[in-house]
Amino acid sequence: MTKPVRDLPSGVQEEKRLSRHAVNLWRWGLLIALIALWELGARLGWLDPFFFSSPTEIFRTAVTKWQTGDLWRDIAYTSASTLLGFALGTVIGSLIGLLFWFSRRAALVAEPWLVVLNALPKLALAPVLVILFGIGFSSKVILAFLMTVITAAISAWSGAKAVDPALTTLLFSLGAKRRQVFTLLVVPSAMPWIISGLRVNIALSMAGSIVGEFIASDRGLGRMIVYAGTTFDLKLVWVGVVVLSILSVLMYLAVVLLENLLSRRWSAEQNQT
Amino acid sequence: MPDVDYLSVRGVSKQFDSGGNAVSAIEDVSFDIARGSFVSILGPSGCGKSTLFNVIAGLLPPTAGDVRLGDTSIIGKAGQVGYMLQKDLLLPWRTIEDNITLGQTLRGIRKRTARQAAAPLIDRCGLAHFEKKKPHQLSGGMRQRAALLRTLLTGKDVLLLDEPFGALDAITRLQLQMTLIDVWQETRKTILFVTHDVDEALLLSDEIIVLTQRPGRVRARLTVDLPRPRTPDMLASPDLMQLKAQLMTLLLQEVTEP
């Protein structure tokens, strides 16, 4: 969000607003131009339609798949495992991170573990998880969960660490118990940190779900893409890619919306002293 | 008066461990405060005033000595006295109303009851119509008013105020000093007030305790013999000028003498 510039004469402000308009126009224009170019390229034979298909072809395939109900089911399956893994990972991870506040020692012991676990390529574990938890829904949720839980814990712990010690002193001087300092001060103080981790985590969670479906699954957009690839149905692969892109943008926007709602509640305007 | 030693600090010392060396912040500090009096503590910076306050507030165990409130020792017992600091320390996500009643919330008192108890003092402290606002919507002076009110509403008889107006501009500070005197005269709390500002100490206090350079000890204790209610123009009276000169000399000696 940009702050409005108050001191400028109205003419300059007008110009600013116009340029913002122009930026939006350019953004959408570029997208449309790219799609048009793709279509044109396919029709004029610059692009091999077998590999690259074309926007109209992809759209037609998507509509057919939608009508049979397959596409809809796959979207629901992937969305569900992504959101469930995201929610579980965020809630459990944040709780773990926050609870470290109660024990400096536990936190110090856990810190290098968190860093290493965070750096670990969890997607590489996907085959093991699928064997452990089966090819069904749960293995996808667990993978999405593992992708998010560590980052959520790290964000929450950073927030808990950043609590103003003077505020802690004040609450204790008012006779607060440790549990009260935790609920009244630590949790709300860490909220902006937790919230800022959500955007990254929704994308990570979706990556976990899709890779799980790549390994072994009987449903989901990831499985659809793999299946279409092995049968050389590249049109369908493109449908999968486009639908996944749209889905991830929608989820991202939903998280941004959630962020705005949450940060209004836990207004982060604590910089003024 | 039966309560001349209501708050009693007896031989309090505090040493900190600094890289293997014991550094003394305060040494053998003793004084008694009568119930309902207003006493300022004046001293050069780094004389251990905040350490002393943390000990009295029960947040820091002293190396030696005792602090008694009435008949009981309050060493290590937090929540026995009200404590206010230079920073307002309002919780940014709570409204002013919920911030000033924080002490009651911690004791499990219902919000409605707490608010009712706060209502008459809200007006008194000049915070009427600001109850529903968030701290960031208020000026520094108003936020400090809220912090003062939060301290008053703890319901404790003893209030420790650690340079509460130190960060405010001169006019706002004067307004808050007047509010504080006003509220103090009505509630008759026992106030221990740390400040760097000699005029502030003179204007507000019954007595002034001067601490030495680190490690802090009690250097002198002076009585401010001025009628109440106090007004800023009293600072120009000859008696007070003399007291001020005396204080200044004491403080200057502390800073210059090794």
The answer for residues whose C-beta is within 8 angstroms of residue B246's C-beta and 6 or more apart is B222
Question: What would the mean pLDDT of B88-92 be, rounded to a whole number?
Answer: 92
Cα gap A111→A105, rounded to integer Å: 10
List CB contacts (< 8 A) between A172 and chain B. 59, 78-79
Q: Which residue in A173, A188, A269 is closest to B83 by CB distance?
A: A173
Rg (CA), chain B: 18
Q: Is A262 on the interface with B (CB under 8 A)?
A: no
Interface predicted TM-score of the whole assembly (ipTM), two decimals: 0.83
Are A175 and B107 inside 8 Å of each other by CB?
yes
Are B89 and A269 inside 8 Å of each other by CB?
no
- State the count of interchain CB pairs (< 8 A) between A and B: 66
Disruptive mutation site among A172, A173, A184, A267 for chain B (greatest number of B CBs within 10 Å): A173
Helices A221-230 & A234-265 angle (0-180, nearest 10): 160
What integer pLDDT is reported at residue B1 of this predicted model? 47
Give the strands of the sheet with B21-33, arranged side by side: B21-33, B7-18, B64-69, B72-73
Confidence grade of residue A272 (pLDDT, cut at 50, 70, 90)? very low
Mind telling me how many Å the CA of B85 is from chain A's nearest CA? 8
Are B93 and A272 inside 8 Å of each other by CB?
no
In chain B, which residue's Cα lies nearest the Cα of A165? B89
Q: Show contacts of A250-253: CB within 8 Å, 24+ apart.
A: A251/A79, A251/A82, A251/A83, A251/A202, A251/A206, A252/A199, A252/A202, A252/A203
Q: Which two tokens stand for residue A214?
A: 């790549």
What integer pLDDT is reported at residue A257 of this predicted model? 92
List CB contacts (< 8 A) between A175 and chain B. 78-80, 103, 106-107, 154
Q: Which residue in B79, B92, B93 is closest to A174 by CB distance?
A: B79
The full set of domains in chain B, from first to last, is 1-76+195-258 (3.40.50.300)
Confidence grade of residue A268 (pLDDT, cut at 50, 70, 90)? very low
Cα gap A244→A231, rounded to integer Å: 20
pLDDT, tens digit, 9 for 90 and up, residues A161-211: 999 999 999 999 888 999 999 999 999 999 989 998 999 999 999 999 999
What integer pLDDT is reported at residue B258 of this predicted model? 58
SS3 category, A74: helix
Q: Which two tokens stand for residue A202?
A: 């929704």
B158-162 and B218-223 beta bridge pairing: unpaired
In chain B, which residue's Cα lies nearest the Cα of A175? B79
What integer pLDDT is reported at residue A270 of this predicted model? 42
Question: What would the mean pLDDT of A115-130 be, rounded to a whole number?
Answer: 89
DSSP A84-150: HHHHHHHHHHHHHHHHGGG-HHHHHHHHHHHHHHHHS-GGGGHHHHHHHH-SSHHHHHHHHHHHHHH
B-contacting residues in A 154-213 (Cβ below 8 Å)? 164, 166-167, 169-177, 180, 184-185, 188, 191
Mind telling me how many Å the CA of B136 is from chain A's nearest CA? 6
Disruptive mutation site among B89, B107, B144 for chain A (greatest number of A CBs within 10 Å): B89
Cα gap B160→B83, rounded to integer Å: 5
In chain B, which residue's Cα lies nearest the Cα of A191? B93
Disruptive mutation site among B74, B77, B93, B134 for chain A (greatest number of A CBs within 10 Å): B93
Question: Containing H/E element for A49?
Answer: helix A49-52
pLDDT, tens digit, 9 for 90 and up, residues A24-50: 899 999 999 999 999 999 999 888 888
In chain A, which residue's Cα lies nearest the Cα of B167? A273
Give the strands of the sheet with B190-195, arranged side by side: B82-84, B158-162, B190-195, B38-42, B207-211, B218-223
A180 within 8 A of A171, measured Cβ to Cβ: yes
Q: Is B154 on the interface with A (CB under 8 A)?
A: yes
